[in-house]
A and B are shown apart, each in its own frame.
Chain A
């Protein structure tokens, strides 16, 4: 047993740079693939509603604005979002996913209602460019209709 075994380690750190950073003024960049806040590429969305169905927090809401024009509105309730990125995983569009995550993570607000994000757009047609792809977009769409029917 030794008295003050920690002392050498402490004194070594006395003139070292602190491990912490001056947070609100300096920031550490987030790594690649960080799950920040979800957003929509509205020009690609085919309104299959897979994201709405799979969202564990019920943060995604897709409503029809105009049936004839096929106009839809998607609202992402960022106050409910748990940033799991399941919507991105569920999104069937190829080659680019309509749902994506950005690296935004400092999203506190004073009012939860201000944290909504919404897009109003016309439904895109499912693309069928890739040879193996056609089944992929069709299937979730089918499931969506099945769910709507049930």
Chain B
């Protein structure tokens, strides 16, 4: 039974299959919201209201010719998309979506999993940098360096913002943090600053406008992905989509009280909360223009980092005096 459950967990829910389907759905949702905010239609034809469009795009890319540049480090170049995809799916497994007994520690829920999840989410950035670097294309290299430069900006604020609720909850385990906030819903409010900081930082991590600098098409063509095509590009795109889901799931777990209750209820909560986060991210994407890479770093250290520290301070004060 336990083997079957683990198998289900890995392959079906919330593993490979669910993440794939849900990631494409979230991409559709993101595109649709983005389009509607811009008074456009968005995808309309593949499936009902274009819901299958991301899958169609994926299949199309899988069928396309796969070109590896002659000068590229071929092994690294080919391995990176798979590695990136594997990393984000692993990160997805750590989300406490299945009903987990907070008392029992296991391979998918253990004290410190929030840290592991955060670091797993940092790895794709490195993968993108290596992808840019190994393509040996001028545009890719610039894209890669921009990815790393941005990392210095948003990473620390993101960690501080996500860890503050954990400090308040007094646990390094996602399931426990979520359970704590479900038990004390009012304590979600002091974390609002952190939520805002984390939203912006996640936007930067996902390289979406206004932080889509590493693949700003009008400046450096495809940026990191310039040389990628076919299956590898499809994997990278899927990676970005799953990363979006996992990041939204992380924010929903840490800031919005996670997904409690029975299996069905938890599932519905997961969908609703992640979609709410994705909606906020899409709106942020629609409402801003791209900024420059130096502006990202300035912005992150001038605004995000102090706000994140402020959040930590608030949390510590509350913990010291109120609880």
Contact with B along A1-28 (1 / 0, CB 8 A): 0001011001101111011101000000
* Known contacts A18-B35, A18-B39; A10 and B44 CB within 8 A of each other: no
Q: How far does the Cβ of A7 sit from chain B's closest Cβ, in whole Å?
A: 5
CB pair A13 B287 closer than 8 Å: no
* Known contacts A18-B35, A18-B36; A4 and B287 CB within 8 A of each other: yes
Interface residues of A in 1-60 (CB under 8 A from B): 4, 6-7, 10-11, 13-16, 18-20, 22
CB pair A4 B40 closer than 8 Å: no
**Total residues of chain A contacting the partner, CB 8 A:** 13
B38 surroundings in chain A (CB, below 8 A): 10, 13
CB pair B37 A20 closer than 8 Å: no
A7 surroundings in chain B (CB, below 8 A): 283, 287
CB pair A6 B40 closer than 8 Å: no
CB pair B287 A10 closer than 8 Å: yes
Interface residues of A in 79-127 (CB under 8 A from B): none
B286 surroundings in chain A (CB, below 8 A): 6, 10
CB pair B41 A22 closer than 8 Å: yes
Task: Give Cα A14–Cα B44 distance, bound, in whole angstroms.
Answer: 16
CB pair A18 B41 closer than 8 Å: yes
Q: How far does the Cβ of B199 sit from chain A's closest Cβ, in whole Å?
A: 13
B218 surroundings in chain A (CB, below 8 A): none
CB pair B287 A19 closer than 8 Å: no
Task: Give Cα A10–Cα B34 distance, bound, in whole angstroms.
Answer: 10
Task: Give Cα A22–Cα B35 distance, bound, in whole angstroms.
Answer: 13
CB pair B288 A4 closer than 8 Å: yes
B36 surroundings in chain A (CB, below 8 A): 13-15, 18
Task: Give Cα A5–Cα B287 distance, bound, in whole angstroms.
Answer: 8
A18 surroundings in chain B (CB, below 8 A): 35-36, 39-41
B288 surroundings in chain A (CB, below 8 A): 4
Task: Give Cα A116–Cα B286 distance, bound, in whole angstroms.
Answer: 46
Q: Given B33, B37, B39, B44, which contacts A19 in the complex, CB threshold below 8 Å?
A: B39
B283 surroundings in chain A (CB, below 8 A): 7, 10-11
B40 surroundings in chain A (CB, below 8 A): 18-20
Task: Give Cα A14–Cα B35 distance, bound, in whole angstroms.
Answer: 9
CB pair A22 B39 closer than 8 Å: no
B37 surroundings in chain A (CB, below 8 A): 10-11, 13-14
Task: Give Cα A14–Cα B39 distance, bound, in whole angstroms.
Answer: 7
Interface residues of B in 21-55 (CB under 8 A from A): 33, 35-41, 44
Task: Give Cα A14–Cα B37 distance, bound, in whole angstroms.
Answer: 5
Q: How far does the Cβ of B227 sit from chain A's closest Cβ, in whole Å?
A: 33
Task: Give Cα A16–Cα B41 distance, bound, in whole angstroms.
Answer: 11
Q: How far does the Cβ of A19 sit from chain B's closest Cβ, in whole Å?
A: 5
CB pair A20 B41 closer than 8 Å: yes
Nearest chain-B residue to A24 (Cβ)?
B45
Q: How far does the Cβ of A2 sit from chain B's closest Cβ, in whole Å?
A: 12
Q: How far does the Cβ of B39 sit from chain A's closest Cβ, in whole Å?
A: 5
Nearest chain-A residue to B288 (Cβ)?
A4
B41 surroundings in chain A (CB, below 8 A): 18, 20, 22
* Known contacts A4-B288, A10-B286; A16 and B44 CB within 8 A of each other: no
Q: Given A6, A15, A16, which contacts B287 in the complex, CB threshold below 8 Å?
A: A6
B44 surroundings in chain A (CB, below 8 A): 22
A22 surroundings in chain B (CB, below 8 A): 41, 44
B33 surroundings in chain A (CB, below 8 A): 14
A14 surroundings in chain B (CB, below 8 A): 33, 36-37
Task: Give Cα A18–Cα B36 distance, bound, in whole angstroms.
Answer: 7
A15 surroundings in chain B (CB, below 8 A): 36
A11 surroundings in chain B (CB, below 8 A): 37, 283
B35 surroundings in chain A (CB, below 8 A): 18
A19 surroundings in chain B (CB, below 8 A): 39-40
Task: Give Cα A29–Cα B44 distance, bound, in whole angstroms.
Answer: 22
Where the two chains meet, the residues of B that have a C-beta atom closer than 8 Å to any C-beta of A are 33, 35-41, 44, 283, 286-288
Question: What 5 A-B pairs come out closest when comparing CB atoms?
Answer: A10-B37, A18-B41, A13-B39, A19-B39, A4-B287
**Known pairs A10-B286, A10-B287 / 9 extra A-B pairs, C-beta < 8 Å:** A6-B286, A6-B287, A11-B37, A11-B283, A13-B39, A14-B33, A14-B36, A15-B36, A18-B35
- List 15 A–B pairs whose Cβ atoms lie within 8 Å, in order of A's numbering: A4-B287, A6-B287, A10-B37, A10-B38, A10-B286, A11-B37, A13-B38, A14-B37, A15-B36, A16-B39, A18-B40, A19-B40, A20-B39, A20-B40, A22-B44
